């Protein structure tokens, strides 16, 4: 399936332009915007379909969890549980180039694609006034990876964003060049120990001066860059590339097949990505222990879906 062409309007920083960008985000669109670190490619973090569109626009071969951007501390507290260390870090460095990985709050209602189906969420309150104006006007938490096609460098100007993503996003807010130019520093607090998960714009030494030494990432839980989370693993056994279910199996379908659940009856990869985690979670909740999965084309978002399914099917 071809990626639908999008308008990719270049917007300025007037109130009218920010309002237009905010409406687009709140309505499920893709809007690139500047932060103090790099330009992000934003979408409503509660909207499965919009988040799936981020991966499609970036042409990512795999899903990885995304940072959720908020405009203020109350919004952050509604999405994640802050322990005293998290509160200290937020008080010292937010708004700023620091991302905190924290346990999801009950009722956070984020798309499972944002957390890769895991129990933790990465939160960031950017220092950029423009970014905070946009997020607060949109009134939704904004999932935003860097606004570049997969495998290219993170963009620090609107021209740079359009060079990579023209026709694949709805708009870019042009706020001029980013001041910091490298991504935020990521600190994980999900297991109670502060860990440096990614060095970035806020020096680790500065963080350590505030809260003491940062531990290394928990190496057991990292298999590749960007996979620093405990991934969602279904309880049942998955059989991939199945034309039809065998006795004792239910079919997780794709395309016009008779299936227990269908990722996308019309064969739309973006819809399939949006449904992936929800359907796996439903099958788990139903206690299905043998799940056949229809073949998914290995192009575009299909590569990310297949990557995720292969990992879910791997023996544990």
Tally of CA atoms within 13 A in the half-sphere of 55 that contains its CB: 30
* Token pair for 13: 């920083």
144 binds, among Mg ion, ligand TXA, none (CB under 5 to 8 A by kind): ligand TXA
How near is the Cβ of 99 to ligand TXA at its closest, in Å? 5
Among 229, 264, 270, 275, contact with ligand TXA (rule: CB under 6 A): 229
101 binds, among ligand TXA, Mg ion, none (CB under 5 to 8 A by kind): ligand TXA
| Sites for ligand TXA among residues 36-95 (CB under 6 A) | 37-38, 40, 64-67
- Cβ count near 99 (within 10 Å): 26
Site string for Mg ion, 138-157 (x = CB under 5 A): --------x-----------
Return all residues near 103 (Cβ < 8 A) that are at least 6 apart. 80, 81, 119, 120, 121, 190
| Sites for Mg ion among residues 88-147 (CB under 5 A) | 146
In DSSP notation, 2-63 reads: PPPP---EEE-SSHHHHHHHHHHHHTT--EEEE-SSSEEEEEETT-HHHHHHHHHHHT-SS-
Place of tokens 């932060």: 35
59 binds, among ligand TXA, Mg ion, none (CB under 5 to 8 A by kind): none
| Kind of pairing between the strands at 250-253 and 237-239 | unpaired
Residue 62 binds Mg ion, judged by CB under 5 A: no
- Interface residue list for ligand TXA (CB under 6 A): 35, 37-38, 40, 64-67, 99, 101, 115, 118, 120-122, 124, 144-146, 183-184, 186, 197-198, 226, 228-229
- Interface residue list for Mg ion (CB under 5 A): 146
């Amino acid at each position: 399936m071809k990626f639908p062409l999008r308008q990719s309007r270049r917007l300025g920083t007037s109130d009218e332009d920010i309002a237009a960008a905010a409406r687009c985000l709140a309505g499920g669109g893709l809007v690139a915007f500047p932060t103090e670190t790099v330009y992000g490619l934003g979408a409503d973090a509660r909207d499965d379909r919009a988040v799936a569109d981020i991966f499609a626009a970036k042409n990512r071969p795999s899903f990885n969890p995304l940072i959720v951007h908020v405009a203020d501390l109350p919004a952050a507290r509604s999405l994640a549980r802050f322990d005293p260390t998290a509160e200290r870090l937020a008080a010292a460095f937010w708004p700023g180039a620091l991302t905190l990985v924290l346990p999801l709050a009950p009722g956070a209602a984020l798309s499972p694609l944002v957390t890769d189906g895991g129990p933790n969420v990465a939160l960031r309150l950017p220092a950029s006034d423009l970014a905070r104006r946009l997020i607060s006007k949109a009134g939704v938490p904004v999932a935003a990876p860097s606004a570049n096609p997969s495998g290219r460098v993170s963009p620090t100007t609107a021209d740079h964003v359009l060079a990579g993503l023209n026709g694949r996003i709805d708009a870019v807010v042009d706020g001029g060049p980013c001041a910091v130019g490298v991504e935020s520093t990521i600190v994980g607090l999900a297991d109670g120990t502060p860990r440096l998960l990614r060095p970035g714009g806020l020096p680790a030494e500065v963080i350590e001066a505030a809260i003491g030494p940062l531990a290394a990432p928990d190496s057991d839980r990292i298999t590749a860059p960007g996979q620093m989370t405990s991934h969602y693993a279904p309880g049942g056994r998955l059989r991939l590339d199945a034309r039809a279910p065998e006795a004792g199996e239910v079919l997780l379908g794709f395309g016009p097949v008779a299936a227990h659940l269908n990722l996308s009856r019309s064969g739309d990869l973006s819809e399939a990505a949006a449904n992936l985690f929800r359907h796996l979670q439903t099958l788990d909740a139903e206690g299905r222990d043998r799940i056949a999965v229809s073949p998914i084309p290995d192009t575009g978002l299909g590569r990310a879906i297949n990557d995720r399914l292969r990992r879910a099917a791997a023996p544990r």
